[in-house]
Structure 1
């Protein structure tokens, strides 16, 4: 089987090691040459990928021309994006990449817009019968206070479009800051209404005020074509730190599988994508987010027998997929590691 050359964006992303592991540990035993790119020059992917290039940010007019030049020079077969902001330009210019023989494993532009908007995601969930949290769109402090009365404390605020935990806050009626000072690690996600008012003021860009969900949280990995969901793998997020799963378990949840299939097909997502759900007080999982890209801990699905990341490469190349068998109960425990660089030598630790 021919060698495949894959360009991976966001080579400094937390999940880069898992993405590379998934590509190298593919079920075809195929040789994969990896070309990493990142807007920063000194990132871990620089030392883990076979090649590395520093590129302009996705907002730059030079981003796409630079990637096209790299793809042509390196004879790249498939582009795998890992950064949310890069999805839009890559989707818009997919045909330009195809002209030089490079496939871009990314959903269509409209699907990305829908998936990245939490407000639109909630509307789609309502249409297809998937549970979602109660929410209100707010643009002024008066509207936020009115929403708080309806939701009760605690409740959540977040921007309609954001990546990671940017803009995410859990709003409490009262917080014992002295007790938290001595017993908890610093956590900027917890605020009172007064503290939030000091941050936002009377008017602000559109926000969502949402129901707080106290139950277990799940990430769901999905491999799909525009009209066909090939496999769905729910992952329970047992321990989360700064938005990253540190302990996770692959769990067979028929409800999450069905909900994810409905949402994926309605949005029109393709390749390796993901959804996030959180349970309410009654244990009902409600959708809270969609990630139309490789998720940070997607490697757990690889270990469980479903290599979604390599599957995206296969789909981009127009190759057939096998019948997947999930090893339910597979767990991942993340630890701190790194790359040491001494006089040009690289050591993984």
Structure 2
């Protein structure tokens, strides 16, 4: 049977994952076919796959589309990308087709837990893992009270939505911040508490928030390949200013791997930590999906997307993945730069 893997619409790194898989197959001198799909016209992503498809926008059409595609093209492994909860709810039907399904999790309950930052913090504490203290805020009045009577005495406070991605809604409170700072320097994510409360008072509905102490850092983003809670390979990115340092050891690295194990992670996932005031790493959150920066990790010599594909297709046993990740790793420093590619206006490998 041919090696065919299908990567459905992802959040931000679908192109890098496809390129990683194809370069790994070339290195291993193995025939492997990559199918990719997206709801939108994203030719810069789809053009790097061997074959591409357009996904339906209607969720009711998703399962028939998936099953017919698997049957027609003989897909062996399917990576969900977005809509992880939906895929978990339809896992039995999808895997009955003979393909393996990867959502990043071993069940829907793990996706729900990871999505709720306060619940996640509580579960990690129960597992004996250090985590940033997190307080759920359910009203403006609660937030106003805790800003006046901090539950984290002596530490600067920050806030973000209980659920969400990409750090959206994160703000750090500063009593000395100017009212114009959020307009002149929005990337700093610093706001005066009074201004934040005023903005909240103008909203019709209150979205639950998590209040936390702001940690000095540095921050680590650890990209991990796991198999039902067993960590097979991982690369940590220590973020300091514009530079990221690639590592495969240390307290933050070990903590992130322990978190992925506790969360029964399955596939390519990401765990974030940050050092507290005593210099020790604590867990911030876990994303049961590939990170936007997973492509950076290949500069360490460890190709996580490639090893993921080969493992899911049965081309590499766990022992080989673990050994290769250790053998091929080399420390590296990377920096994100602005880049541009020519946009492919036509796709010659479109299947529908």
TM-score (norm 1): 0.84
SS of 2:60's partner is coil
Matched, 1:94 2:91: yes
Q: Return closer, same or farther for 1:285/1:227 CA change in 2, 3 Å cut-off.
A: closer
* Aligned residues: CA RMSD: 2.7
Number of the residue aligned with 1:337: 339
Take 1:228 and 1:76, find their aligned partners in 2: how far apart are those partners?
A: 25
Number of the residue aligned with 2:271: 275
- Deviation readout 1:123-149 (Å, 9 max, x if unpaired): 122122222122211111121122223
Shift of 1:102: 1.8
Shift of 1:327: 2.5
Cα pair 2:43 2:343 within 8 Å, conserved: no
SS of 1:44's partner is helix
SS of 1:187's partner is helix
Take 1:215 and 1:178, find their aligned partners in 2: how far apart are those partners?
A: 26
Number of the residue aligned with 1:207: 209
Structure with bigger strand share is: 1
Take 1:292 and 1:328, find their aligned partners in 2: how far apart are those partners?
A: 26
SS of 1:199's partner is helix
Alignment of 1:1-349 (within 5 A): 3-10=2-9, 13-26=11-24, 28-57=28-57, 60-83=59-82, 86-106=83-103, 107=105, 108-148=107-147, 149-150=149-150, 151=152, 154-177=156-179, 185-187=185-187, 189-201=189-201, 204-239=206-241, 247-318=243-314, 319-321=316-318, 322=320, 323=323, 324-325=325-326, 327-341=329-343, 344=346
Q: Return closer, same or farther for 1:162/1:54 CA change in 2, 3 Å cut-off.
A: same
Gapped regions of structure 1 (runs ≥ 5): 241-246
Take 2:100 and 2:36, find their aligned partners in 1: how far apart are those partners?
A: 16
- Deviation readout 1:60-102 (Å, 9 max, x if unpaired): 222333233333333222122333xx11111221222222222
Shift of 1:162: 0.9
Shift of 1:307: 2.3
Cα pair 2:182 2:191 within 8 Å, conserved: no
Structure with the greater relative contact order (CA < 8 A, sep ≥ 6): 1 or 2? 2
Shift of 1:255: 1.4
Number of the residue aligned with 1:243: none
Q: Return closer, same or farther for 1:77/1:332 CA change in 2, 3 Å cut-off.
A: farther
Take 1:4 and 1:310, find their aligned partners in 2: how far apart are those partners?
A: 13
Q: Return closer, same or farther for 1:47/1:90 CA change in 2, 3 Å cut-off.
A: same
Take 1:335 and 1:161, find their aligned partners in 2: how far apart are those partners?
A: 29
Shift of 1:51: 2.4
Shift of 1:315: 3.5
Shift of 1:309: 1.8
Q: Return closer, same or farther for 1:221/1:197 CA change in 2, 3 Å cut-off.
A: same
SS of 1:62's partner is helix
- Deviation readout 1:39-59 (Å, 9 max, x if unpaired): 2224521322222223235x8
Q: Return closer, same or farther for 1:37/1:224 CA change in 2, 3 Å cut-off.
A: same
Take 1:343 and 1:273, find their aligned partners in 2: how far apart are those partners?
A: 32
Take 2:257 and 2:30, find their aligned partners in 1: how far apart are those partners?
A: 29
TM-score (norm 2): 0.84
Take 2:290 and 2:279, find their aligned partners in 1: how far apart are those partners?
A: 27
Gapped regions of structure 2 (runs ≥ 5): none
Cα pair 1:155 1:212 within 8 Å, conserved: yes
Take 2:63 and 2:347, find their aligned partners in 1: how far apart are those partners?
A: 32
Cα pair 2:182 2:190 within 8 Å, conserved: no
- Deviation readout 1:298-339 (Å, 9 max, x if unpaired): 223333233222232234334403112252422333333333
Cα pair 2:9 2:36 within 8 Å, conserved: yes
